[in-house]
A = this chain, B = another copy of it.
Amino acid sequence: MNKVFKALADPTRRRVLELLRQRPMTAGELSDQFAVSRPTMSAHFAVLREAELIDAHKQGVTITYRLKLSVLEDALLGFSSIFGIGVPDTGPAPTMSTVPAKERAP
């Protein structure tokens, strides 16, 4: 949870997630959208991967990154629900530590 919010604190990383929302993209494709060097982008990818907001798979020499929407969703909904944001106020107020990972349909 903390790693997710840390990852979201940087606008470049938020934009990466936004791009990946449309479709999985390679590291190079993503890097082309930003005015920073590839090593810098690589570091951003590492932060997002560490937070499990994206995952990577290698096909030959390229690496394709994909958004793990469920992780983002869990963090945002979990945090929002603490404040009663966006959800009807049913039951006791959850805290950050008691908010369980949301069950996802298979």
Across-interface contacts of A96 in B (CB, < 8 A): 14-15, 18
- Chain B minimum-CB-distance residue to A91: B88
Total copies of this chain within the assembly: 2
Q: Which of B18, B83, B95 is in CB contact (< 8 Å) with A69? A: B83
Residue A90, interface by CB 8 Å: yes
Interface contact A85-B79, CB-CB below 8 Å = no
Across-interface contacts of A87 in B (CB, < 8 A): 77, 80, 85-88, 90
Interface string of A84-106 (1 = CB under 8 A from B): 11111111011110010000000
Selected A-B contacts with CB under 8 Å, 10 pairs: A5-B9, A21-B82, A69-B83, A76-B86, A77-B80, A77-B86, A84-B99, A85-B94, A87-B88, A88-B90
